[in-house]
Homo-oligomer: A and B are copies of this chain.
Amino acid sequence: MNLFLAHIQQDNALISNEEAHHLKKVLRKNVGDQILVTDGLGNLFSGEIIAIETKNVVISNLKEFENKQKRSYHLEVAIAPTKQIDRTAFFLEKAIEVGLDAIHPIITFHSERRKINQERLERVGLSAMKQSLKGEKTKVNELIKFDDLIAKYKDFEGQKFIAHCDDTIEKTSLKEALTLNGSYIFLIGPEGDFSKAEIEKAIQYGFKSITLGNQRMRTETAALSTVMAVHWAHQ
């Protein structure tokens, strides 16, 4: 069954905008068809299409549908978007399949890319959510400067990590540093890594300096390896 993001009301659900377009024009669903809907907040329902209007699609007979993919942790990744944005999009898609609550595209000192098409990343995220039947919508945040992000997460109650390759700054293996407190944010730098000043500032703001091992990885691979590390740690 196909999944759609919907506005869930007491007894029915409304599908609007691009989701309604996708349902009507791409998947060519009709009145009477059974579909799955989610509020994007962890809740899934099965239901029946009872009306296809110009702007909205109305779903009724909602029945709770077990969300078998509920995770026991909260995970956010801040990543310097790659020069080839496809690589960042691919990271996002894979990370959503494995489990990710929010992505923060960041501008760093060595960033090659200082603009992003946020709508495109949002489309990739929504599509990955639907394809993998997730009940949670991953938040695609606006591009933010490194300094603003670490300030914003000053009082974050989970574990905060900055992954980097600077051998002059002490760092712990993520495997050792990770304690299963259930809430995490990772900072992943651009191809040229974070600057020394950025790493030191993040450490001041309570981010733990970590290494992802001795393998040379691209930005999107490093980011994905943190998502996988948390996934495996929680199995």
Chain A contacts to B: CB under 8 angstroms? 68-71, 90, 94, 97-99, 131-134, 173-175, 213-218, 221, 224-225, 228-229, 231-233, 235
Contacts and interface: CB of A to CB of B under 8 A. Distances in A.
B235 A98 contact: no
A231 B235 contact: no
Contacts of A215: 69, 71, 97-99, 132, 231
17 contacts: A69-B216, A70-B214, A71-B215, A97-B216, A97-B217, A97-B221, A98-B215, A98-B221, A99-B215, A131-B218, A132-B215, A132-B218, A174-B235, A215-B231, A225-B228, A225-B232, A228-B232
Tell which of A71, A99, A235 has the most Cβ of chain B within 10 Å: A235
Tell which of A70, A131, A173, A221 has the most Cβ of chain B within 10 Å: A221
A183 to B, nearest CB: 18
CB-CB nearest 8 A-B residue pairs: A228-B228, A175-B235, A132-B216, A97-B217, A97-B221, A94-B221, A229-B232, A173-B235
Nearest to A98: B215
A225 B139 CA distance: 22
A126 to B, nearest CB: 16
Tell which of A68, A133, A213 has the most Cβ of chain B within 10 Å: A213
Given A69-B216, A70-B214, A98-B215, 12 more contacts: A68-B214, A71-B215, A90-B90, A94-B224, A97-B215, A131-B218, A133-B216, A173-B235, A175-B232, A175-B235, A213-B235, A225-B232
Contacts of A221: 94, 97-98
A69 B71 CA distance: 33
A231 B225 CA distance: 9
B175 A218 contact: no
Contact of A224 (B175, B218, B228): B228
Nearest to A220: B94
A214 B97 contact: no
A204 to B, nearest CB: 26
Contacts of A173: 235
Nearest to A71: B215
Given A224-B228, A225-B228, A232-B229, A218 B97 contact: yes
